[in-house]
């Protein structure tokens, strides 16, 4: 496509990859307003909200969507849960690009929980039909207590398979724990 190429948010959580792309002429931005007219724009692996897609289309920006397939799967499952009348709960970190993208892809209210206390603060009745999805970049260890609290709180709950948590994130975190035990 030629240079420069604009990337909305860091394409992945990997400093080496990001620095390598910067050295090759990629320009990383946080907002589409920073992208000049007609400039090639890449959406990061974290995905983006529909409003970002619509803004890029309205501005005529050529877009390469690099959303991770696992993230897209979570978006689609969230939409399916909502279409079946379930209240949707997202386990994730407020302000994280993936969370913002997921909340902006699902048509309707998404209840964000970041910890067990957030689960306790939900105002839904215990028998409400609910479903939860997770930020893929959280590990199984990051989410297990929150999932247990959701399952203890709600009697009609559905979820995605745990395999939808990013296996790369889980492998890296498991490896770091193993190394810590050796030290």
Residue 169's nearest CA partner among 146, 143, 132 is 143
Query: What pLDDT does 10 receive?
Result: 86
Decide if pLDDT at 57 tops 80.
Answer: yes
Which one of the listed residues 10, 53, 98, 100 is annotated catalytic? 98
Instruction: Extract the tokens encoding 22.
Output: 């910067």
Q: Which residue has the tokens 């897209």?
A: 72
CA distance 136 to 133: 9
- pLDDT tens per residue, range 17-36: 889 999 999 999 999 999 99
Measured CA distances, 125 to 98, 115, 122, 157 (Å): 28, 19, 9, 12
For residues 135 and 102, the answer to whether their CB atoms sit within 8 Å is: yes
Rg of the Cα atoms in the chain: 18
% pLDDT > 70, the chain: 90
Q: Where are the alpha helices (DSSP H) in the chain?
A: 15-23, 50-58, 69-83, 97-105, 116-121, 140-153, 167-182
Is 98 in the active site? yes
What's the sign of the alpha-carbon dihedral 25, 28, 73, 104? negative
- pLDDT tens per residue, range 102-128: 999 999 999 999 999 999 999 999 999
Instruction: Extract the tokens encoding 55.
Output: 């803004």
pLDDT level of residue 40 (50, 70, 90 thresholds): very high
Single pTM value for the model = 0.86
Query: What pLDDT does 168 receive?
Result: 59
Instruction: Extract the tokens encoding 181.
Output: 């035990």
Taking residue 119's Cβ as centre, other Cβ atoms within 10 Å add up to: 23
């Amino acid at each position: 496509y030629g240079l420069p190429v604009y990337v909305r948010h860091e394409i992945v959580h990997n400093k080496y990859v990001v620095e390598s792309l910067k050295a090759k002429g990629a320009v990383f931005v946080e907002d589409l307003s920073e992208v000049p007219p007609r400039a090639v724009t890449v959406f990061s692996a974290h995905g983006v909200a529909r409003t970002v897609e619509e803004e890029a289309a309205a501005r005529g920006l050529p877009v390469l969507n690099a959303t991770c397939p696992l993230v897209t799967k979570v978006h689609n499952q969230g939409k399916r849960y909502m279409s079946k009348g379930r209240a949707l709960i997202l386990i994730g970190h407020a302000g994280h690009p993936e969370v913002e993208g997921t909340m902006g892809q699902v048509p309707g209210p998404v209840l964000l929980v970041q910890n067990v206390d957030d689960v306790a603060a939900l105002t839904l009745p215990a028998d409400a039909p609910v479903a939860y999805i997770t930020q893929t970049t959280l590990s199984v260890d990051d989410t297990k207590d929150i999932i247990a609290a959701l399952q203890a709180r709600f009697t009609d709950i559905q979820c995605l398979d745990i395999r939808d948590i990013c296996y790369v994130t889980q492998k890296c975190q498991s490896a770091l724990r193993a190394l810590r035990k050796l030290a």
